[in-house]
Amino acid sequence: MKEKSKILLSLFLISWTLFSVFLLITYGSQYIGKSYFDSNSFKGNLENFKSEIGRYVLEPFDVEEAKKQITVTKEEIEYHRNYYGSLTDQVENIKYQYQERIEQAADDPELKELLLHERDQKIEDIKKNFQDDSHVEEKIRQQKEAIIHRYAVLENENKKAFLDEYNYFAYSLRNIETGETFQSGDVNAEAVFKENFGDKNSYLVVNSSRTISPNEYDYTIMKPEMTIEGKVSRYEGTIIIPKSMMQNTQFKEDYQVFMTVKIILYSIWATSLLAIVGVMTVAKPSFRDFLFENRLKEYFLKMPIDLRIAATLFAIMITSLIFDITGNFIRFNYYYMNHEWIQIGIHLAIDLVLIYIFTSISILGALWTWESVNNEENIKYEWKRSLAYRLSDGIQDLFLSRSIGIQALAILTVAFLAGFGLAIVFIEPIFLLVYAILFIFIALPALILFLRNAGYLNRIMKQTKDMAEGRLTREVQVKGKSPLAQHAQNLNELQEGVRKSLSEQAKSERLKTELITNVSHDLRTPLTSIITYTDLLKNPNITEDERKRYIEILENKSHRLKTLIEDLFEVSKMSSGNVELKKERIDLTQLLQQAIGEHKEAFEKANLDLRVMLPNEPLYAYVDGQKWWRVIDNLIVNALKYSLEGTRVYITLKKVDSVAELAVKNIANYELGDNVEELTERFKRADESRHTEGSGLGLAIAQSIVDMHNGKLRISVDGDLFKVVVTVTAE
């Protein structure tokens, strides 16, 4: 058997088996081993018969017994008496009713006399109602007797209808208390149905109590219902349906339907067993057979996983619906089609084809979906392709700004309701006025808001494109306080940041060029001297004094080169963050005094007047003592080298709030220019000609050390006044 034919046959046999199992689950308990007389339809008919035979035959309504149970209460008397109002109200009302008629009969004395007599009798009767309770009681009793008589007439009419409707039943029943027997038909005849009462079976119990409701004319009776208490009687005997009476029964068509459906269902269940055998022998499919590659499967697997699951579940739902429709058609519809067997056959054929198609889709959809998610990697892949993932991702992005998310949902809701309302207006034009008011005051403002925001968004996008193309001269217009306006403000800030970044980039390129130039110059100068004096030492004709002087120069230049290289290495380490601090509690006042003491003589030789202001008590801070000494030393040396001869140098240490502040001020011997912040860059000096000694790394090293201590180093210039302020957290 070819692979494709094998799969199609397997799907057909499985579809038929599933349909049979559905019918078995749904209808098996109603038909397997059951007859029509076990059906709910017949049981309901039988219970109705037993109830009505007790009501109309076994315990018929007894008028006289009912009359004996009539009672009239004081409340009923008062209710009847005052139903039309008080005595004066009723008398006045009677007089008013007769007044016009009496006046019209003025020319007929005899008629007038009769009307006056009739009026007076009614007035007298009303007065008697208020004077004599027994008079009212008799009236109420007569009304209740009339109700009982009407009820008895109705019972007789219903009895005739009952006897005509259930004439196919035969019964023989005996009251076990009184011995009275009731019989109709031959209960010994051949029966299609039989039920016995008494002995080992339960008795037929009949309750003769009645509840009688008065009609609309009995309005002067207080209680709307009358309860006639009866007795509960038990009967033994037999009820049968003779076989000969089957053609007279009202359920003969139902009986035929039941038997035909039973045969059909038994046939379907029998063929389903053959289908199961066929699947296990002839078709014999494996799980892999259903996973064959084909174009339909290719298209199906291109769908997102949740759409595949939804399509499969929809196919299963349609399959179940077709199962149910076909099952109901088998049970009922062929009867209502008047036994048009050709129509029945066509209808069933169509149903079976639909069952085959949708069951196959359900099976293949479930198997192919399972194959696509049979491991964790596939599950992750399919989830990221799913509509739910895209939707959740979109919703999350939508609510990154809660305001935009709420506005979007509100506009979508208004749009949906507007469309829904329009559909209602087409169906019921009477709602047009309400819809117009809601549209003008809700939908139209929402539409205007949407269009305005859309236009504003387009403007922002256009200006963003200009920014992306490098046109940074025009700011985005900020309108209102909406999220779009905030976005426009952010774009303006971004534009300003880009401008600053470009400026910083240009500055960085310039400093980089200067750095290379300065490093080359500062390293080349001592290196050139070393090479020059080394060559001079090679001359054998130099004197010993000259040799000593050359060696001394070489030593100085070597130390100079070593200092440059060490400073460069140190500032590089600090910039990379590879320096470990060993913080301890240090007295900054004492540390500064020691540093000043080492350079005091140098200041005197340089003809500089050093002015120092220290606190009167120790000023402690948690710093790395060695590194902080380097900061102080670099600042003092910087002032020593670059101060104008004959000027004062001010060094101040004080506590300001919670920080220790070290300030060094001097008059520069070179013009400083405007970019003082660049002085902390590596190899940057105020002496652009680089005639002074030094590496150009002093302030850069100090800046790095201060940063590592979470402190601040600030440089300011006022003309030739140069000032450095260092702050660090004090104890």
Cα 293 to the center of its chain, rounded Å? 38
| Count of beta carbons in the 10 Å neighbourhood of residue 194 | 14
Torsion sign across C-alpha atoms 239, 242, 248, 249: positive
In contact, 617 and 724? CB cutoff 8 Å: no
Rounded to 5°, the CA angle 359-364-367 comes to 125
Output DSSP code: residue 684.
-
In contact, 666 and 642? CB cutoff 8 Å: yes
Q: What is the pLDDT of residue 622?
A: 92
Residue 436 identity (one-letter amino acid): A
Q: Which of 58, 294, 316 lies closest to 173, judged by CA?
A: 58
Residue 376 identity (one-letter amino acid): E
- The model's pTM: 0.51
Q: Which of 252, 247, 365 lies closest to 317, judged by CA?
A: 365
| Count of beta carbons in the 10 Å neighbourhood of residue 227 | 11
pLDDT digits (tens, 9 = 90+) for 472-485: 666 766 777 777 67
Query: Could you state, in order of their start, the residue ranges of all structural domains in the chain?
Result: 3-34+252-385, 36-248, 399-468, 581-729
Q: Which helix (H) or strand (E) holds 658?
A: none
Rounded to 5°, the CA angle 395-397-398 comes to 60
Mean pLDDT of 275-287: 78
Mean pLDDT of 687-697: 46
In contact, 30 and 265? CB cutoff 8 Å: no
Q: Which two tokens stand for residue 531?
A: 């090479």
Pairing mode of beta strands 648-656, 191-197: unpaired
Pairing mode of beta strands 191-197, 181-184: unpaired
pLDDT band with cut points at 50, 70 and 90 for residue 23: very high
pLDDT digits (tens, 9 = 90+) for 158-183: 999 998 989 999 999 999 999 999 99
Higher pLDDT residue, 542 or 724? 724
Lowest mean pLDDT among 644-653, 656-665, 679-688: 679-688
CA distance 46 to 52: 10
- Kindly give the interhelix angle for 133-165 and 74-81, rounded to the nearest 10 degrees: 100
pLDDT digits (tens, 9 = 90+) for 405-448: 677 777 778 887 888 888 888 888 888 888 788 888 888 888 88
In contact, 642 and 669? CB cutoff 8 Å: yes
Q: Which of 585, 596, 530, 566 lies closest to 728, judged by CA?
A: 585
Q: Which of 602, 662, 580, 665 lies closest to 629, judged by CA?
A: 662
Mean pLDDT of 251-260: 83
In contact, 303 and 312? CB cutoff 8 Å: no
Q: What is the pLDDT of residue 687?
A: 44
Residue 10 identity (one-letter amino acid): S
CA distance 23 to 320: 11
Q: Please spell the DSSP secondary structure of 358-418, one letter per residue.
A: HHHHHHHHHHHHHHHTSSHHHHHHHHHHSHHHHHHHHHHHHTTSHHHHHHHHHHHHHHHHH
Residue keyed to tokens 């709420």:
406
pLDDT digits (tens, 9 = 90+) for 64-79: 999 999 989 899 899 8
Q: Which of 379, 364, 381 lies closest to 298, judged by CA?
A: 364
CA distance 545 to 528: 22
Q: Which of 484, 417, 400 lies closest to 450, judged by CA?
A: 484
Higher pLDDT residue, 535 or 172? 172
Q: Which helix (H) or strand (E) holds 508?
A: helix 483-537
CA distance 621 to 730: 5
Maximum Cα–Cα distance across the chain: 186
Across the chain, mean pLDDT equals: 82
- Using the predicted structure, report yes or no on whether residue 462 has a pLDDT greater than 60: yes
pLDDT band with cut points at 50, 70 and 90 for residue 396: low
Residue keyed to tokens 């060490």:
566
CA distance 43 to 668: 120
- Using the predicted structure, report yes or no on whether residue 387 has a pLDDT greater than 70: yes
CA distance 552 to 559: 11
Q: Which of 595, 591, 613 lies closest to 728, judged by CA?
A: 591
CA distance 492 to 495: 5
Q: Which of 254, 260, 264 lies closest to 37, judged by CA?
A: 254
Q: Which of 567, 564, 561, 645 lies closest to 602, judged by CA?
A: 645
In contact, 685 and 625? CB cutoff 8 Å: no
In contact, 701 and 630? CB cutoff 8 Å: yes
pLDDT band with cut points at 50, 70 and 90 for residue 342: confident
Q: What is the pLDDT of residue 647?
A: 93
The architecture (CATH level 2) of 581-729 comes to 2-Layer Sandwich (3.30)
Q: Which two tokens stand for residue 220?
A: 């002067």
CA distance 634 to 702: 7
Q: Which of 168, 150, 177, 171 lies closest to 57, judged by CA?
A: 171
Q: Which two tokens stand for residue 478?
A: 């900020």
